[in-house]
Structure 1
Amino acid sequence: MKNLQDATERICELKGSLVALDALLPAVIDTLSAAALARLADSFDAHAEAARIVMLHSDISDVVLTTFEREIARNRALLQRSQEPLGRATRTGVVDELLLTTTRITTFVGSQVQTRASGFFFRRGDQLFLVSSRHVFADATRSHFPDRIEIGLHTDTHDLTRHETVSLPLYRDGLGQWREAVDSGGKVDVAVLAIPATRLPADAVVLAFDDSHLDARGEDVAIGDALTIAGFPFGFHDTAHHLAVARSACVASAYGVRFRQQGCFLIDARSHPGSSGSPVVRRRSGGHPGASAVRWRLLGVHSTRVDMGDRDPLRDDGLALTCTWYADVLPTLTAEG
């Protein structure tokens, strides 16, 4: 009887220990960066394999082995879910992945702040680019010639308060490092800046648009369609989590037509300084196999307000129209060579 009681108590102790371990593992995962999670997963697989070899060469019942394999699979699944790309991890959560493609840009001359603007990430193959309005990087009409910019990057997939500022030079040996385009209508107010991998923090979490987000996938865009602009108007944003804010807009000119022979279309939206360079997007009507994490179609790059040249500012309201440059210029700007 004594042995049975001891065995029962020991089983209860083991159950308590397992429950405590079940509580510990998610707590550990929540405190780890993406890189640390990857190392933990690799280490877990190695230790699990070592334990499996020992058990297979020991006098252990099949029940123990079956339970071991079940728990290994459960813990591995927990680790894999925790390592999912940020866009997939947040799609059913609070944060929309669109906000994580967008970053605040601050321009500098030396240590002096010049302007604040918006930008977003675009990936072409292995190369990551920052996209913004060309006038953010250089604007002769305003004598605006910064020599570097700073952008913000999240460094943790779970804790969005973890954030680092990255400085990127705009010139090297006197030459501008951004790429810009000219078409039949003149200069296009879109520019891209390649971000070297060496400039990124080791734990950088970057969610970027790519060519798949330019693909219409059979969805037409018509006048009056609802759009979204994600950016930093007047620099305003969630300062705790370093997230952009979104404004609503709609298509205000014929989409697919070059407004006044320029590579842009008009949107009806409240626009403020600091929004230049924001992505202008339209939510896709449904999921598409093979599409990457961001479930938006990238239509354009937010630029400047459009107004009547002869409007009386004291008597007449502004048009509240904004020029948006077509995003189909991005494959050309990000092409190799």
Structure 2
Amino acid sequence: MATQHDIALTRALTGIPGPLPPSGVIHVSFPHASRFTIVGNHLAQHDGLSLTAIGIGVHIQSLPAGSRVGIKALTARFAEGETTIAAALRELETHGYLYRTRARLANGRLTTRTVFCDQPDALLRGGAVAPVAVEPTAVPPVAVELVPVRPVAVELAAVEPRPVMTPAVPAPAPAPAPTPVPQEAPPPVRVPSRIAPKPPRRPLPQPRELTPELHRAASALLADLRRHAPELVLSEDDVEELAPGAAAWLERGAHPDAIRHALTTELPQPPKYPAKIVRHRLAALLPPPLPGSSDLAPVRRTPATPFQTCEGCDRAFRSPDPGHCRDCRGQYWEAA
């Protein structure tokens, strides 16, 4: 089988016009008749996207409308894990190729609407949306028989014109033009703008009292992160700026191993801004203060008044002591 491929490749290379390049890739191209997708070089050669993001973007663009392109669906289709695919989808969102919004259906349920734009720059310029491309289908040529048309000579005899008397008939009134029926335009697809203002980020947590011992322990914890996650290399300025946030965690009783696990688990690949990742996690994942002993004490309930059986009518009533119910006591008082 390999020999047949080698022979076919040799024949294809001999058919390429011009001299072959001494190094680099050589393209052997054949026209596609079906099952092909047009992909722009701005995506296939994007210098800001990872190879995984480019591959997933090309795969999504080749799928028909309505296909599932969530993290679970792509993980079941490819060998990459959920973390890698989630990071690639975030890259496509950052560069404007992918938009994911929450929409409410007619039955009240929420669903995630995914929109893929094959040209983000054209979307920002307000360009017209092209119709959905349909794969061309090979149609066999139809033979058409051409029949020559012979000119026919017509001889007109000279006829003297005679006046013809026609009665005057009023011209018919023009028929009214049909009223155009307005057609409802399809609702536009709302795509979130990339230039919309972003919500303000959460402030870095601060401890109640930043003692020298607490500041030293927080700085050592942040500087030691690169031993557990080589991607999280923080500069001295970053450690000095983020030390109050880690000190707030230590002040609230968080164990250093728990803080390290929260800051180094499931990092985006590749992490372009390690200091921003650590700052976001220190602010977003801050645990609450430990409750005091009084907060954990069980709630004391007031004992309920027990039921008693009336000695006169056997009716049940609530009373700390046995005796008669209210009605029986009233009857006894009236008799007395």
Higher relative contact order (CA 8 A, sep 6+): 1
With the shorter chain as reference, the TM-score category is: under 0.3
TM-score, with length taken from structure 1:
0.22
Task: Work out which of the two has the higher radius of gyration on C-alpha atoms and give 1 or 2.
Answer: 2
TM-score, with length taken from structure 2:
0.22
